[in-house]
Structure 1
């Protein structure tokens, strides 16, 4: 694992930290590949329930490392795209914990996660257009899916950032914190990790993929995600724990 990315496990949650504070956590190819490797670990280890992606030194990610770009390097993973996560997602949930700036590819990386917790003073933006570039890591595509078109156009065409409170109002952010964003992210991760792991994976898959499904084919497309859930040991344990008024003990099967 690259020293540009730190990985730790805390209470069943994989915490992945972009560790280039001297460069505002600008993304390099090695960091992107390390994040992708961490996401593979998230899916591979049954004791891990979800992940938090954050940045060291009070900044989430300021986008592509321009020095590397000028030398011909693109900060992408062959499967996961920018930051190892913008064109692929693990089966388990990923929470972005955003302090400081999430700009350009950094904003796209945050949006590639499933949920976002941000410090109240954090800022989000895709300023690529100010440098003659295009937000090609998903920003120009995702914004009009998340916002009314005029608002998406304004953010994309001006390149100006918005604050976390405005992002919360627009539904781009789940929660904001007055302290470090990772504190709120850990709280949210804990709520997710307490649930049935098979059900969490299936539910993320449905929420992520179902916007492509024709209404008349919803059940047909959903069945492969849930067919094994209702006959699982976890489903029986969840019902039993409810009846016995205790916390369930999940087995992931």
Structure 2
């Protein structure tokens, strides 16, 4: 049976121009995207395509993405209004992504398409998440829509609200890869993703955000502490590890989500640590609402904080590290963007050092002079427990919360963060499917397979 091939990209008309009329433009771009989809339907899986077939697919998809970009650039705010009843129904990232797929078919992948892609390795995927990156670029760059999204993503998760009563009663919560324990007014969040040195993935993101919510919601907790558990890994057995960054094995296997992990962690639990919760059920709205839902946070860094672990430190109020720990951001070597580190690190290390870390892969030892720009207190390993306890007690002060809020307002105006996240959405989704990232994942995976 002969294979179906896509027509030449030149057979697809040029993307339609926008007119400024939301309804008319939605109809025009919808028709165009349907036609583009028909041009690639029936092809064999990506791994089985000839180079000529893949080139044709990429030509059609490039034209379709030009149409998507033009539409969301013009109508990002209006699209968010349509999806949220004019902002009256707060929706998070996942609800917006799949709501947009229903509202304008072809604009972004459906839930079924994303689920099917997740069954493929990253190099075998079609890259439909790039279209989600385009969507959130358009939504977040629209000022009112972007602010609404950031606010919606700081709301407590249903899972957190469901666990709150039991946590308030017992002071403990076991959340899969994370545990939370209330001790003397301090919420201790311990990460124990033991089989991968606390590497981050979708499951850890959900567990970690639940823990952050519980710390912020519980009236008996006045400050939060995050620390890694002792490891079972042969090389680090018995040693605590803060974080080894993104789980590259899961990324290779297609199990790292753009929306539910790479984008969600930045505007979800990391942003909650920085600014606290919004929209707590039963609490009044208003300019002074929510003051009780923001608390100071301490990070305790044992051994290393790599990648996403180092990114996390940039929003903590205080960092205690053991003197042989180190910090690094190997995202350039991996080929991706290190979250909001590009937005924040220059304020911490300075312009030149930030580039050395992000672009040059420089490691910073906690005991080095530059280490004191990332950690407030650097101690011997055997002194860590005492130093963490002392630092957490110092944060347990009502004036700390008020002052951290004012510092964060001055250091990082939310609109600046919103604009950064809009561009991050586009860049990170593209990097996730770029040829060099695919090649790097293949080489890393093959190398690890040979060693195991």
Q: TM-score, normalised by structure 2?
A: 0.43
1:66 and 2:248 equivalent?
A: yes
1:87 maps onto 2:87 in alignment: no
The Cα shift of 1:76 comes to: 2.6
Higher Cα Rg, which structure: 2
**Structure 2 CA distance for aligned equivalents of residues 13 and 86 of structure 1:** 19
The one of 385, 400, 403 equivalent to 1:203 is 403
After superposition, residues 11-90 of structure 1 pair within 5 angstroms as 11-57=184-230, 58-70=240-252, 71-74=254-257, 76=261, 80-81=265-266, 85-89=269-273, 90=276
User: 4+ runs of 1 displaced by more than 6 Å?
Assistant: none
Which of 301, 305, 309 matches 1:106?
Answer: 309
From 299, 306, 328, the counterpart of 1:125: 328
2:269 aligned counterpart, secondary structure: coil
Contact kept, 8 Å, 1:95 with 1:117, in 2: the verdict is yes
The Cα of 1:10 is off from its aligned counterpart by: 1.3
The count of aligned residue pairs is 208
1:154 maps to 356
Over the aligned positions, Cα root-mean-square deviation in angstroms equals 2.2
Distance apart, 1:17 and its partner CA: 0.9
Distance 1:204 1:63, change over 3 A: same
Q: How does 1:142-221 map to 2 (within 5 A)?
A: 142-166=344-368, 170-179=372-381, 181-193=384-396, 195=397, 197=398, 199-211=399-411
CA distance 1:203–1:162, change in 2 (3 Å): same
TM-score, normalised by the number of residues in structure 1: 0.75
Unmatched segments (≥5 aa) in structure 1 = 214-253
Displacement of 1:170: 4.5
Distance 1:50 1:167, change over 3 A: farther
